Amino acid sequence: MEPGAVDLTELIRPLAGADWWIVEGSGDVPSFKVTDGPGGARGEEFAGGPPSVCFPCGAALGATWDVDLVARVGASLAEETRAKGAHMLLAPTVNLQRSPLGGRHFECLAEDPVLSALLAAAYVRGLQSGGVSACVKHLVANDIEHDRFEISSDVDERTYREVSLLPFEHALRGAGAWAAMSAYNRLRGTHCSENAPLFAVLRDEWAWDGVVVSDWFGTRSTVPAAVAGLDVEMPGPPSHFGAGLVAAIEAGDVPMEEIVAKRDRLRRLTARTGADRTPPAPDGAGGSDDAVAVA
């Protein structure tokens, strides 16, 4: 496929959000909607929207050591997500509680990588059993809030593999999560949203076929991010995967094959979630009796 033979603006439309929650489709890639987690399906409103069930935070789930219960939480969250007219829940958070100073560690499951890995896999399986995509976050070694956009996690290889990556490996490779979210921080000096060695672990070593979404405003470049393997810039309108990406494709800096691969992954995601049959819908009320009982 040659750049001049297609409308590039239309071709790349699904590679960035249209707004905070919606990714617009084009051609054979339909639109889909995401909603925030992991303690519930928030919906589009930051306050005052239709009600949702509030589930125990990740640290509380981790304290149960109960994979079956966490899987039930995931299944209930799928129902809650559907009530919001969404196809993807931005959850679970599987970073490790490395320090008591980590400001978002209440979202994480545990300080132990094995416990986190087992519970993360259960959460993903439960959620996706309801046809809702998990978006496992924040990839990777994102365990401190100080200087959160620039700090570099310079972990040695053994720590990287056996500690930082282990929960992600169980969630993505083991449980087959359909999406993951790149983190704000740098990994060994390179931002996670444009970290080619990180994405190579996922796609080459683990043979993972899911979609990588940036954390909100976490895309830091056009060409490095696109070539490394980031699929979707969020939120929209895009800062990097819009006109700048079109120009990069036309200049030959981003191969057309990479754009086609991104669209293929998005098409697979939307088929798995049923977005090709059920378009995004306005927020509805959650709170089924089953979800309340599980929470």
User: Using CB atoms within 10 A of its CB, is residue 126 exposed (0-12), middle (13-18) or buried (19+)?
Assistant: buried
Provide the pLDDT for residue 47.
Answer: 87
Q: Annotated catalytic sites, by residue? A: 215
Q: What pLDDT, on the 0 to 100 scale, is given for residue 102?
A: 85
Angle at 260 between CA 221 and CA 86, to 5 degrees: 75
Residues whose CB is less than 8 angstroms from the CB of residue 18 and which lie 6 or more positions away in sequence, other chains included: 24, 236, 237
* Mean pLDDT computed over every residue of the chain: 96
| pTM score, whole prediction | 0.96
CATH 3.40.50.150 assigned to domain 3-294? The reply is: no
Nearest C-alpha neighbor of 25 from the set 283, 271, 282, 284: 271
Contact at 8 Å (CB) between 124 and 176? Answer: yes
Distances (CA, A) of 109 to 8, 92, 95, 141, 167: 41, 9, 8, 14, 10
Kindly state the DSSP code that residue 100 receives in the 8-state scheme.
T
Return the pLDDT at 5. 67
**The pair of three-digit structure tokens given for residue 81, joined into one six-digit string:** 């997500």
Q: What's the pLDDT at 78?
A: 98
- Ranges in the chain, pLDDT < 70: 1-5
Q: What pLDDT score does 48 carry?
A: 87
8 Å CB contact between 117 and 175: no
